[in-house]
Chains A and B, each alone.
Chain A
């Protein structure tokens, strides 16, 4: 039987190279494309001919719009408005990656650390640039909470700097680990269904029932992790804009 890790294997579909790097179109790229294209189509048809009284599809689009708009407004404030399209895209992209990954046989690109870390690092760098652009060197005050005694600076500043630098790592590892572990557990229980069910039909039912519950849990985790990834990005942007 295939290893539980086999589902994470990258398989090139079209071999490509660019500037000496292998940039082949892989199964990961395929599912990124499928997720982005499907969600684009759904959201485009949701926005097309948007009317005063929304239909089902338009309601879906509007619910997502208001959900993310509310998240940005509450966590960043009015200055966050111009970053709203980015957060909307981020949420949809991660949610799409997580949910499409749950289709049996699909590839979950959010279970790859390089994908989540690239996203997190891009967000982290952009937010840091925004912080410096807005506050100049005053941005460094983020690393020393105002009101703390000056004597604590030698301890506080390194802690704050390290926790700031750890943000892209914690952000990306959280998503990557959640998706990877969820899929490994599902695969292991699916293996139990086959191996137990091959000998006796009845014991195979038990891991199957567990698998059903795990699948439901994984749908929840998929949505929750997309939400956490997006809201933490909002909170980091808020720090850069408002400096605590």
Chain B
């Protein structure tokens, strides 16, 4: 086997050393630092971006919380204003209706008095008419003379 021919051992060892060492020098000086830096730079960039995204997310979360708090506050405020307005309006309406009721009651009372008066007047008119008719009737039919006062008393009877 040519592999065991010692003639070429020194030459192969010599060139192995030269090529391997040259290859090592090239790789360790010009290739590996750059590749390593590229990989590390990428990892750092990704890490930095993730950290930045995390902090931005925290900020936006805080903002959302603030916004929601403000929203809740203004909602509560709106509810309070509504309740207050409702109460005020109810009170006003009650006052107005009470006033109106009172006015109406007055009017009703006045009307009732007026009606009562008219009725009384009407009744007394009826009485007078009845007494007159009675006096006239007694005179004409019975030939009796009845005083108007008696007739009126009888008619009221």
> A: which residues have CB within 8 A of B?
5, 8-10, 12, 16, 18, 21-26, 28-29, 32-33, 35-36, 39-40, 43-44, 46-48, 50-52, 54, 58, 61-62, 65-66, 84-86, 88-89, 92-93, 109, 111-115, 118-119, 176, 180
Contact = CB atoms under 8 A, between A and B. Distances in A.
A50 B38 contact: yes
Given A62-B39, A113-B3, A24 B32 contact: no
Contacts of B34: 47-48, 50
B11 A29 contact: yes
A45 to B, nearest CB: 10
B15 A61 contact: no
Given A32-B15, A62-B39, A118-B13, A88 B27 contact: yes
B23 A84 contact: no
B30 A89 contact: no
B95 to A, nearest CB: 78
A35 B27 CA distance: 13
Interface residues of B, number: 36
A5 B2 CA distance: 7
A147 B14 CA distance: 45
Contacts of B10: 21-23
Contacts of B19: 29, 32-33, 35-36, 93
A29 to B, nearest CB: 3
- Could you say which of B3, B30, B36 has the most chain A C-beta atoms within 10 Å of its C-beta? B3
A89 B15 contact: no
Interface in B19-38: 19-20, 22-24, 26-28, 30-32, 34-38
Secondary structure dominating the interface of A: helix
Given A26-B8, A84-B32, A115-B16, A66 B2 contact: no
Nearest to B38: A50
Contact of B16 (A52, A54, A118): A118
Contacts of A43: 26-27, 31, 35
A20 to B, nearest CB: 9
A8 B12 contact: no
A58 B42 CA distance: 13
B20 A36 contact: yes
27 contacts: A10-B7, A10-B8, A12-B11, A18-B14, A21-B14, A22-B10, A23-B11, A26-B15, A28-B8, A28-B15, A29-B15, A36-B19, A40-B23, A40-B27, A44-B26, A46-B31, A50-B34, A58-B38, A84-B32, A85-B28, A86-B24, A89-B23, A89-B24, A93-B19, A93-B20, A176-B3, A180-B3
Given A47-B31, A65-B32, A66-B39, A112 B22 contact: no
B1 interface: yes
A32 B23 CA distance: 10
A32 B16 contact: yes
Contacts of A8: 1-3
Nearest to A41: B26
Contact of B38 (A5, A44, A54, A180): A54
